[in-house]
Structure 1
């Protein structure tokens, strides 16, 4: 058993825009873990969505998550579902669609049931997109693991449990976010 947390943070999700429901993923994880802490701390929390960069993985753990789901990060891999096609410029892409996309709702009864889509008229809560083909999943997974290890080393976390329970979190300003990325240079 466990709780999957995330209403709209995924890259192909439009739930927040379409329904006005959801909150930032770090806040959602923190609030759920806090709500479970007294009587239900044994129930694991999975961060479903919002993992955009490698550094988002340790942030999800530090927010209290026991695990993360990373759809978009793996969507372009050989092992992920979706058709692969070659663009006119020679680059290879994969189709990536959400369970709440119009296409999935038209084809899949489980998606229709999950999103309350009955009849001919329904409101999609996801999109169909295209992501660059990335090859085998190892090419994506290894940098994720290395980033998590480095992050844990920076905060002296010997394991993920420590990272979850002992890491101090701070809000970041817009200026702080800007300086967190390469800036004021022309990237080669």
Structure 2
């Protein structure tokens, strides 16, 4: 419903081609769903919007997925249903101030993130969304982050027999996993 409302707002405002950002509360550090009960899992939301677009034909609106990216796999899944993916935390992880860095024996071990309304964020103007959570998957450079994304997307396209994004989006299929399947799929 929110997508249809935003779509018609843009159309009635005279836009012919536009991007709509979708996702409230799915961010990997965001606590909106926990604190407010508002929001939907990002992949489920993207899938629902694509299904709606195909039924009603609102294909002149492009989608930017907002939130929930912890890994290149999350990026690849979001790209299956969107034209763009917002990944602030993913890219920002190499540029934090010393006071939020977690070090052990002089080695960087993680980054402590804070909510938008926290004292640290409001006083320091360190506008990183989240709520006192530790980020452990981080990159030291943007090139390292981009390389991970490229490699993940290239592998995924190989697995689904796609040579471009249009084929990828047409060939990709998702299935629900049980908790046991997720545990089994982890490194062991």
1:43 paired to 2:61: yes
1:14 Cα deviation from its structure 2 partner: 1.0
Q: 2:98 aligns with which of 63, 71, 84?
A: 84
Q: 1:154 aligns with which of 137, 151, 159?
A: 159
1:21 paired to 2:35: no
1:74 Cα deviation from its structure 2 partner: 1.6
Deviations 1:44-87 (A, max 9, x none): 1111111122212222223x111212222222224xxx413564
Deviations 1:82-131 (A, max 9, x none): 41356463134656445x3324773599x8xxxxxxxxxxxxx8425554
1:150 Cα deviation from its structure 2 partner: 0.7
Count of residues in correspondence between the two structures:
164
1:148 Cα deviation from its structure 2 partner: 0.7
Kindly indicate whether structure 1 or structure 2 has the higher relative contact order, using CA contacts under 8 Å at least 6 residues apart. 1
Pair 1:171–1:21, CA change in 2 (3 A):
same
Q: 1:106 aligns with which of 116, 122, 129?
A: 122
Whole-Å separation in 1 of the counterparts to 2:104 and 2:187: 31
Question: Secondary structure, in 3 states, of the residue corresponding to 1:2?
Answer: strand
Report the RMSD for the aligned CA atoms in angstroms: 2.8
**Which protein has the bigger helix share?**
2
2:131 corresponds in structure 1 to: 127
1:61 corresponds in structure 2 to: 79
Q: TM-score, normalised by structure 2?
A: 0.73
1:16 Cα deviation from its structure 2 partner: 0.5
Q: TM-score, normalised by structure 1?
A: 0.73
Unpaired segments ≥5 residues, structure 1: 112-124, 184-188
Question: Secondary structure, in 3 states, of the residue corresponding to 2:72?
Answer: coil
Whole-Å separation in 2 of the counterparts to 1:66 and 1:9: 18
